[in-house]
Amino acid sequence: MGIAGVLLPFALGIIMFGLGLGLVPADFRRVLSHPKVTLVALSCQVVLLPVICFGLVLAFGLPPVLAVGMMLLVASPGGTTANLFSHLYGGDVALNVTLTAVNSMISVVTLPLVFNLSAAHFFASGSENAELGLQFTKTLQVFAIVLIPVLAGMYVRSRAPQFALRTDRPVRIFSVVVLALIIVGALVQERENLAEYLAATGPVSLALLVVSLGVGYWIPRLLRVGRRQAIACCMEVGLHNTTLAITIALSIVGSTEMAVPGATYGVLMYFAAAGAGWLLRRGHARTTSPATTTGSENA
């Protein structure tokens, strides 16, 4: 497994602990006050995106291990990056927190399910990768690295709220640094095949980002969800917890190659999210400009 296999779960545990520090029971109760938008966003994230990603990996003809790596990525919940971009571009950050919290809990079931179905489809029986699945013991590891640190963080938040608030920013910075190091490490470890892997996963990752961000915004808007909430859904649906996907690939499954899609996506998502935010802000400014308002009033 190597030192990375030991350090990655520990680092992810700190990140998920930091996520828990920002959660309170009200974040889960908020689902009851906004059932429609929560159901729409989670349906896009948990049901629609895996179907879209499956179609994309088939259309782009990804090799089996990279295809399963993409499915692992798309099954991972959103993370603090979605909250950050939602805040930057005027989204409902409270909704982001709720969606991240709920989907993190759901992913304990949905992530192993999507991964195992994908592995069963893409890995032929008897191939060297046929055993790369999340059996019961590995599923328990996913449960441990996702839920236990989150629950621990929530407990600390309830007992020491001031400490939780002071710790929030350092943990966020730590999360970004860890993600960068993980991506660099995964790419360096696969440096001999790096050009081939990036050529294979770059286009499909970009396509998934564009489709995910678009689905995350426009489906809620078509269903008459407010703009701020739609922006929150856009970022939550489009930006996955790549650290979780890479950690599972490297430390639990034991496949560096399977971690490459997460690393590629982790780099591209910052540019894609910034571009989506710019387009949303530009479109909103255009629809609320004085000329548009005057024109509509004179019509």
Does an H or E element contain 225, and which? Answer: none
Least confident of 9-23, 30-44, 147-161, 282-296: 282-296
Would you place residue 137 in the very low, low, confident or very high pLDDT band (cuts 50, 70, 90)? Answer: low
Q: How far is the C-alpha of 215 from the C-alpha of 133, rounded, in Å?
A: 29
Q: Extract the tokens encoding 121.
A: 């489809």
pLDDT, average across residues 48-59? 96
Higher pLDDT, 255 or 10: 255
Q: What is the largest CA-CA distance in the chain?
A: 71
Which residues are within 8 A (CB) of 95 and not within 5 positions of it... i.e. 6 or more apart?
30, 34, 37, 38, 41, 229, 232, 233, 236
Q: Comparing C-alpha atoms, which of 78, 98, 97 is closest to residue 28?
A: 98
Question: Which pLDDT score, from 0 to 100, does residue 135 have?
Answer: 61
Least confident of 112-116, 198-202, 281-285: 281-285
**Count of the separate structural domains present in the chain:** 1
Question: Which pLDDT score, from 0 to 100, does residue 104 have?
Answer: 84
78 DSSP β-pair partners? 240
Question: Which pLDDT score, from 0 to 100, does residue 132 have?
Answer: 57
DSSP SS3 for 240: strand
240 DSSP β-pair partners? 78
Question: Which pLDDT score, from 0 to 100, does residue 227 have?
Answer: 92
Higher pLDDT, 45 or 176: 45
Question: Which pLDDT score, from 0 to 100, does residue 204 have?
Answer: 96
Question: Which pLDDT score, from 0 to 100, does residue 9 have?
Answer: 73
User: Are 220 and 229 within 8 A, CB to CB?
Assistant: yes
Angstrom distances, CA of residue 269 to CA of 44, 117, 298 = 18, 25, 42
User: Are 166 and 226 within 8 A, CB to CB?
Assistant: no
Which residues are within 8 A (CB) of 280 and not within 5 positions of it... i.e. 6 or more apart?
89, 217, 231, 234
Question: Which pLDDT score, from 0 to 100, does residue 186 have?
Answer: 63
pLDDT, average across residues 158-167? 86
Q: Model confidence over 169-205: pLDDT tens digits?
A: 787 777 667 767 766 766 676 677 767 878 889 999 9
Give 176-181 contacts, CB < 8 A, sequence gap 24+.
Answer: 178/11, 178/12, 178/14, 178/15, 178/243, 179/242, 179/243, 179/266
Could you tell me the residue range of the domain that residue 163 belongs to?
2-298
Question: Which pLDDT score, from 0 to 100, does residue 169 have?
Answer: 77
CATH of the domain at 265: 1.20.1530.20
